[in-house]
Amino acid sequence: MENANTPCHGGLVLLLDEDSSSSRRIAEGLRRHEYEVLVASDDEIATALAARFKPTLCVLELIPGRDNRLGLISRLRSIVPDMQIVVVTAYGSVATAVSSMKRGAKDYLVMPFKFEELLGALRSDVRACDEEVVKCTEAPLALRRAEWEYIQRVLNDCAGNISETARRLSMHRRTLQRKLNKRPVPERGYAAH
């Protein structure tokens, strides 16, 4: 971690990503574009760094089935009210995109995305994701994609509780976990980056 008191042109970014290789690549790219980066591997470290350094930008990796990450958006914004949070996830769904935006995220990117898209999201003052969410809800979904979206919506309604979600879906818990571990099939018109 670089000294947080050193001035930088891009700004100070809090990066919350549990995958060390992924976070290392993102951090290196941001530093090349004159951002200063604070890296956190879990929610508690992210909260502590936000309270200490008051970063105005955040890249937050959303992990399926963990509502605390969605809740972290609100917690970080309560610590730094003007923090601009970009949510990144390998398991994008309309339900989590909408929930992220409602909780105060600025943008929502589905992996894999181009690094320029992340830079654009961090630099933009506009919520680009709103338009993409509208686009992806207009296109008809394939059956597998529709199932994924429905599971994500029920999971979101159950606050990330896998057992309760499985019960509501009349599905065995292990079956649900297998479905959650599979990456959904991208659809035309869906905001996959």
Give the start-to-end residue ranges of the domains of the chain: 11-135, 138-181
On whether the pTM is more than 0.75, the answer is no
Instruction: Give the amino acid at 147.
Output: E
- What pLDDT was estimated at residue 153? 79
Position 9 pLDDT exceeds 60: no
Give me the mean pLDDT over the 6-30 stretch.
79
Q: Averaged over 75-87, what is the pLDDT?
A: 92
Q: Which pLDDT score, from 0 to 100, does residue 48 have?
A: 94
Phi, psi (degrees; rounded to nearest 5) at 96: -75, -30
Consecutive H or E run containing 50: helix 43-53
pLDDT mean over 62-86:
83
Could you confirm whether domain 11-135 is CATH 3.40.50.300? no
**Domain 138-181 is found in CATH 3.40.50.1170:** no
Question: Considering the chain, what percentage of its residues have pLDDT values greater than 70?
Answer: 76
Question: Which runs of E-coded beta strand occur in 8-55?
Answer: 11-16, 35-40
